[in-house]
Amino acid sequence: MQPYVQSGNEHAMKYDEQGNVAGFLEFPQLETKRLILRRMSQNDAGFYFALFSDPDIIEMTTFDGPKDLDAARKELQDYCLDNFVNDTGVRWGITRKGNPELIGTCGFYKWIKHARRAEIGYDLTATHRKQGVMTEALTAMIDFLFGPAQFNRLEAFTDPRNIGSNRLLEKLGFRREGILRDYTFFRGRFLDDYMYALLRSDWEGH
């Protein structure tokens, strides 16, 4: 896998007096052989609405999709755009090179800076699955997070039924650390979650 192109992203970081990353000065766009991971905007609300209306994504994320385009705009702002502005995370929009249309997203949130850890999430439109796209996108993201962003630990929570997502994480070197029983309540059901984690030392030896 070709690593991401930094494009000066090591200079996009804010540091505290001890030299630890404290946030971002500019949005860290990432590139791979086939993809560009870019900043999203409200112009992407139509894509967001369509993506999170996909029944498969709704079921596997246990999160009901937006009811209309206005709700999609608000969710896009709250969950994707404001994270970067508030230095609590980053959500990248995934595009194929040569085509500005989004095909998915990935990112991190619940960023605990002093512990150098965060949770990650990702999603992809159905027509672009099983083509190695998310493996390539997450490889770029992880390279960046364990590199210039100075992370030490990444966590991911998945539905045990989501075989594709679980295999993806394991392919990237994530270890399943446990099962959180009845961790999620969705549409009248209690559901288990798998908890995965990846350390910088795991990634360097992967």
53-72 pLDDT, tens digit per residue, is 999 999 999 989 999 999 99
Q: What is the mean pLDDT of residues 45-52?
A: 96
Look at strands 117-124 and 153-158 and give their pairing: parallel
9-204 under CATH 3.40.50.300, yes or no: no
Q: Please identify which residue in the block is written with the tokens 């159905």.
A: 126
**Structure tokens given for 177:** 């650390």
Other beta carbons within 10 Å of 206:
12
Q: What are the DSSP calls for 96-135, one per residue? A: ETT--SEEEEEEEEEEEGGGTEEEEEEEE-GGGTTSSHHH
CA distance 2 to 8: 17
Sheet (strand 30-31) strand order: 30-31, 35-39, 90-96, 102-112, 117-124, 153-158, 189-199, 175-186
Give the mean pLDDT of 168-185: 97
pTM: 0.92
Instruction: Flag whether pLDDT at 18 surpasses 90.
Output: no
**How far from the centroid of its chain's Cα atoms is residue 102's Cα?**
14
Q: Where are the domains of the chain?
A: 9-204
The set of residues, in sequence order, having a beta carbon less than 8 Å from that of 52 and lying 6+ positions away, is 58, 63, 65, 66, 72, 75, 123
pLDDT of 138 over the 90 cut: yes
Instruction: Name the band, by pLDDT with cuts 50, 70 and 90, for residue 177.
Output: very high
Can you list the pairs that 74-81 forms with residues at least 24 positions away whose Cβ atoms lie under 8 Å?
75/48, 76/40, 76/42, 76/44, 76/45, 76/48, 77/42, 79/109, 80/40, 80/48, 80/105, 80/107, 81/40, 81/41, 81/42
pLDDT greater than 90 at residue 149: yes
Round to whole Å and give the CA distance between 204 and 59: 33
